[in-house]
Chains A and B, each alone.
Chain A
């Protein structure tokens, strides 16, 4: 565990990608075999199943630290990470013991059918025998909240470096479904288990957001434009008589979308499509919220299939006639894709339409129309580009619509997490309904550090009332809140919920009375429903 904790610390302490990769490569050449495999599995997002509820962990931690539960919870709120909070509040370990990462993972997994007493005994034993970083790792594993600044791509780079194998080969071996229980490190990475897993997807090529004017991209004739759809990224694989559907999180989701089953018969063997999984009815996309009702479900009901049918909008072809064609130029892949879709004639398979344009100004106008057809904006792809792995600057750009925004009044504030733990940065905003201010959204991002400090100082001087950690403040400050979407909500007093709300700017020029009214927001809601055909 110590070697792995050390690695974690090194990776966590630097924000330089190359240093992370170096640390990882060094670990992979020196660690025990089974720990290597688990480290790779963890960094690629394969974590052991959760065997203890976080509610119990919180109770045990508070108890072990001799703290009232509310104080533990308040601390957790400020730290923002349960595993870390527990590791921090516990008194120092009594006797340190060293076991492998594998050992602790097995101990954790053995708790699956244990009773709570046994679970508690194991967890307390771990806490009492590990140092701070060991505890932190253990807690991360047991809470199942394993997010670190390492991507599968970085793991692949490290392996490629440590074992002198081509990075793309490694990436392909890491993708798809595998478990550290079924194979060894050598089998997985060094390819001793022949690449006979037909379900394996290719790593996705990702786009960068376009921040500058598109004319910075050069000649319009070098570029291909299509709509950017608001669904989830997916890959459809037809190999060896089977059909596999993968979503961007590299999750096999074939069963969730029975609509696609027909593709098994209409697509030729040796085909891999890249595109968007999206809810669609009456020749138009449904809002993302509709698709969300399908994402969480494994077994889909008849009613859901009727209410929220899902289709696939194909925009790239990665494998054709059993050949990996990612190295061919986009226009060539697109050409074959068009043929395939035309021949397939399946209602669940659409071709992402091309958005033709002659010059950038014309495209700008077309982008603003994207909303009317239910898209988020445009995608720009270089006509002669190959299909890259991960996010590479230059060939693929997403050019989103400007966000929606509203001017709102700050009414409640709470202290933030992490670096901003000592500042009031979690804000609740309200808009007018008649004479009354109705809270409608929270936000804690979008201001500069300087502005956060200024608002913090203002809050401390303008507190009207305190409710535990929350302060009601004088309703005076106005902020412009940007958001990506709006939907009805019965859970909120205002009756609406925003998607990705954030502070766009502090409107020092505006008085509270000049903020927007709830009816302005409801009007936006109307537009969205109208466009989605609801």
Chain B
């Protein structure tokens, strides 16, 4: 069994799929139904997309999507470090995602395409479509002989006014994330949360406190930035955030003016300022330099009281770049897909629920990490 799993994950996938269908354990299938296995083998060899040790693989085109181990050709959905990794020989992404990927990975061989522009590789048609997760993030559509797969990477269905809004695509096979795949995650609207953040900033200001807001350096920070009320006061940034700001501004994104935190230059501004910093700055001297400060964290995890309370923060703002429970359900339903593959997060529970809804769902182990607040995002992964 281990042999099958490692050497030919296509068979493994097909077996699991069929065992799910028939309610049979894998090894019984193997022992009892040899003929069936031969059939599955044929089917597996034909599968357009396979889940392998290196990542999501298209054998017909010999390309990987967001692979986690080094490969020859990698199609990349977006620039977050668990999706865009260093060490592949060739990269392909959207024009919109490219500058950040290049900034993070350094000198790589990369080509890029327009939204929706078809790319044919060994007869397989690939195209990139907005995933609404962060500026430039894509879902990858794969089509061959009438069979359509969509690998969504990370996605968010509600528009945020900054990145390209999520585009629903129809397909037969949908690879979804489930970072927040539990019914306890329901997001309030972005405008309400941003109002909370702006009010919090003003209250802190009134007490002479610096507002330090923790947010992912790529995506979340710029989303907040573009929705802050700049008339309240100066906006300062941590270097990791500002570097990404610069890349995105060069690309044409409109962000309000910001300046790096530098004691010599702007210490006098701190009591009125809002400071954007990445999770890696939490509990470091970098933060403790703001002697009187209120620390806020913007993350989907802040929806849970336990998460809020166990963090060394004064305020939690529930703001995520991933779809919430209703968003995931709507997105999956809109694809019309019969087969759904679940990555990131609560894969087991989410899969079980989809099965109950009548879909052929399957949990897939990947090395995607989702919106983990505990993992400080490295500024760059290049050695």
Checking A16, A89, A417, A461 against B183 with a beta-carbon cut-off of 8 angstroms, the contacting residue is A89
* Cβ-defined contact, B365 with A460, below 8 A: yes
Q: Are A79 and B375 in contact (CB under 8 A)?
A: no
B374 at the binding interface (Cβ < 8 Å): yes
The answer to whether A74 and B349 have CB atoms under 8 Å apart is yes
B182-225, CB < 8 A from A: 182-186
Given contacts A14-B314, A422-B345, A466-B348, contact A75 B183 (CB under 8 A): yes
B255 at the interface (CB under 8 A from A): no
Contact A12 B305 (CB under 8 A): yes
Interface string of B320-356 (1 = CB under 8 A from A): 0000000000000000000000000110110011001
Q: Is the CB of B353 within 8 A of A68?
A: yes
Q: Is the CB of B182 within 8 A of A75?
A: yes
A449 and B356 alpha carbons, distance in the complex (Å): 35
Instruction: Determine the chain A residues whose CB is within 8 A of the CB of B182 once the complex forms.
Output: 74-75, 78
**A222 to B: closest C-beta gap in Å:** 36
Quick one: which of A13, A71, A81, A88 contacts B303, CB cutoff 8 A? A88
Q: Is the interface of A mostly helix, strand, loop or mixed?
A: helix
Instruction: Name which of A13, A14, A68 has the most chain B CB atoms within 10 A of its CB.
Output: A13
Please encode chain A, from 117 to 149, with 1 for each CB lying within 8 Å of some chain B CB and 0 for all others: 000000000000000000000000000000001
Asked if A249 CB lies within 8 Å of chain B CBs, one says no
Chain B 280-322 residues near chain A, CB threshold 8 A = 301, 303-312, 314-316
* A417-B306 contact in complex given A13-B315, A68-B353, A85-B184, C-beta closer than 8 Å: yes
State whether A15 touches B306 (Cβ < 8 A): no
B306 touches A81 (CB 8 A): yes
CB-defined contacts of B184 to chain A, threshold 8 Å: 75, 78-79, 85, 88-89
**Chain B residues within an 8 Å CB radius of A16:** 314
Question: B-facing mask of A1-17, CB < 8 A → 1, else 0?
Answer: 00000000000111110
The reply on A453 being an interface residue by CB < 8 A is yes
- Min Cβ gap B243→A in Å is 25
CB proximity of A190 to chain B, nearest CB, Å = 31
B residues within 8 A CB of A70? 352
On whether A71 and B353 interact (CB within 8 A), knowing A15-B312, A460-B365, A469-B348, the answer reads: yes
Query: What is the bound-complex CA distance between A422 and B307, given in angstroms?
Result: 11
Q: Which residues of A contact B375 (CB under 8 A)?
A: 453
B112 at the interface (CB under 8 A from A): no
The docked-state distance in angstroms from the alpha carbon of A85 to that of B325 is 14
Residue of B nearest to A91 (CB): B186
Whether the pair A84, B356 counts as a contact (CB closer than 8 A) is no
Does A402 sit at the interface, judged by CB under 8 A?
no
CA distance in complex: A65, B182 (Å): 12
Q: Does B67 touch A at the CB level, under 8 Å?
A: no
* B165 on the A face (CB < 8 A): no
**B-contact 0/1 string along A446-480, CB 8 Å cutoff:** 00010011000000110100101100000000000
Candidates B183, B186, B308; contact of A71 at CB < 8 Å? B183
Instruction: Determine if B183 and A419 form an interchain contact, defined as CB atoms under 8 angstroms apart.
Output: no
When distances are taken between beta carbons in the complex, the residues of chain B under 8 Å from A14 are: 314
The interface residues of chain B lying within 8 Å CB-to-CB of A65 are 183
Q: How far is the CB of B115 from chain A (nearest CB, A)?
A: 31
B372 at the interface (CB under 8 A from A): yes
A12 touches B374 (CB 8 A): no
Indicate which residue in A13, A79, A460, A468 contacts B306 across the interface (CB closer than 8 Å).
A79
Total B residues in contact with A, Cβ cutoff 8 Å: 33
- CB within 8 Å of B: which of A371-425? 415, 417-419, 421-423
B271 within 8 A of A: no
**Contact residues in B for A79 (Cβ distance below 8 Å):** 184, 304, 306
Residue contact B316 to A13, C-beta cutoff 8 Å: yes
Asked whether B153 is an interface residue with its Cβ less than 8 Å from the other chain, the reply is no
Complex Cα gap A464–B353 (Å) = 22
Chain B residues whose CB sits within 8 angstroms of the CB of A289 once the complex forms? none
With contact pairs A68-B356, A79-B184, A89-B183 given, residues A419 and B310 touching in the complex (Cβ less than 8 Å) = yes
B370 within 8 A of A: yes
- Chain A positions 75 through 87: 1 when the CB is less than 8 Å from some CB of chain B, otherwise 0: 1001111001100
Asked if A13 meets B304 with Cβ closer than 8 Å, knowing A89-B184, A422-B345, A469-B349, the reply is no
Q: Closest Cβ of chain B: how far from A248's Cβ, in Å?
A: 24
With A79-B184, A469-B349 known as contacts, the answer to whether A13 contacts B308 (CB < 8 A) is yes
- Complex interface: chain A residues within 8 A of B185 (CB): 88
Asked if A67 lies at the interface with its beta carbon under 8 angstroms from chain B, I say yes
Tell me whether A419 and B301 are in contact (CB under 8 A). yes
Contacts of A423 in B (CB 8 A): 374
Residue of B nearest to A453 (CB): B374
Residues of A within 8 A of B309 (CB): 12, 15, 149, 418
Determine the interface band of chain A, counting residues with CB < 8 A from chain B.
35 or more
B306 touches A88 (CB 8 A): no
Would you call B183 and A80 a contact (CB within 8 A)?
no
**Nearest chain B CB to A85 CB, angstrom units:** 6
CB distance from A96 to the nearest CB of B (A): 14
Q: Whose C-beta in chain B lies nearest to the C-beta of A461?
A: B365
**With A and B bound together, what is the CA distance between A14 and B311 in angstroms?**
10
Known A-B contacts A88-B184, A453-B374, A453-B375; A419 and B307 likewise in contact (beta carbons under 8 Å): yes
A70 to B314, CA, bound (A): 34
Q: Once the chains are docked, how many angstroms separate the CA of A423 from the CA of B372?
A: 9
| Closest B residue to A68 using CB positions | B356
Q: Are the C-beta atoms of A419 and B348 separated by less than 8 Å?
A: no
Q: How far is the CA of A469 from the CA of B352 in the complex (A)?
A: 10
The answer to whether A88 and B314 touch (CB under 8 A), given A71-B349, A421-B304, is: no
In the assembled complex, the Cα of A13 lies from the Cα of B308 at a distance in Å of 7
Q: Are A468 and B348 in contact (CB under 8 A)?
A: yes
User: Which residue in chain B gives the minimum CB-CB distance to A415?
Assistant: B346
Q: Could you tell me the distance between the alpha carbons of A40 and B353 in the complex, rounded to whole angstroms? A: 43
A39-82 residues at the B interface, CB under 8 angstroms: 65, 67-68, 70-72, 74-75, 78-81
Within 164-193 of B, Cβ neighbours of A (below 8 Å) are at 179, 182-186
B183 touches A67 (CB 8 A): yes
Chain B 111-137 against A: per-residue CB contact (8 Å), 1 yes, 0 no? Answer: 000000000000000000000000000
The reply to whether A418 and B348 contact each other, CB–CB distance below 8 Å, is no
A13 to B311, CA, bound (A): 10
Q: Which residues of B contact A463 (CB under 8 A)?
A: 365
Inter-chain contact A418/B316, CB cutoff 8 Å: no
Q: Do the beta carbons of A422 and B348 come within 8 Å of each other?
A: no
Least Cβ distance of A62 to chain B in Å?
9
Complex-state Cα separation, A468 to B353, whole angstroms: 12
Q: Would you give the shortest CB distance from B191 to chain A, in whole angstroms? A: 15
Q: Could you tell me the distance between the alpha carbons of A486 and B183 in the complex, rounded to whole angstroms?
A: 39
Q: Complex Cα distance A256/B314, Å?
A: 43
Tell which of B179, B183, B307, B374 touches A418, judged by Cβ atoms closer than 8 Å. Answer: B307
Q: Mark B266-278, 1 if CB is under 8 A from A, else 0.
A: 0000000000000
A88 to B182, CA, bound (A): 10
Q: Which B residues are in CB contact (< 8 Å) with A415? A: 346
Residues of chain A within 8 A of B374, CB atoms compared: 419, 423, 449, 452-453
Of the listed residues A15, A19, A453, A460, the one surrounded by the most CB atoms of chain B closer than 10 A to its CB is: A15
Complexed CA–CA distance, A80 and B303 (Å): 13
Most B Cβ at <10 Å: residue of A67, A418, A466, A468: A418
Give the complex CA separation of A316 and B316 in angstroms. 45
A191 to B352, CA, bound (A): 59
Nearest-neighbor residue (CB-CB) of B53 within chain A: A461
User: What separation, in Å, do the CA atoms of A417 and B348 have in the docked complex?
Assistant: 16
Residues 349-383 of chain B, each 1 if its beta carbon lies under 8 Å from chain A, else 0: 10011001000000001000010111100000000
A424 to chain B, nearest CB (A): 11
**What residue in chain A is nearest B365 (Cβ atoms)?**
A460
A149 to B183, CA, bound (A): 26
Can you sample 5 A-B contacts with CB below 8 Å?
A79-B184, A88-B186, A415-B346, A419-B304, A421-B306
- Given A79-B306, A418-B305, A419-B374, list of 16 further CB < 8 A pairs? A12-B308, A19-B314, A71-B183, A74-B182, A75-B183, A75-B184, A81-B306, A85-B184, A88-B183, A88-B186, A418-B310, A419-B307, A422-B372, A452-B374, A453-B375, A469-B348
Closest 3 CB pairs of A and B: A418-B306, A88-B184, A419-B307
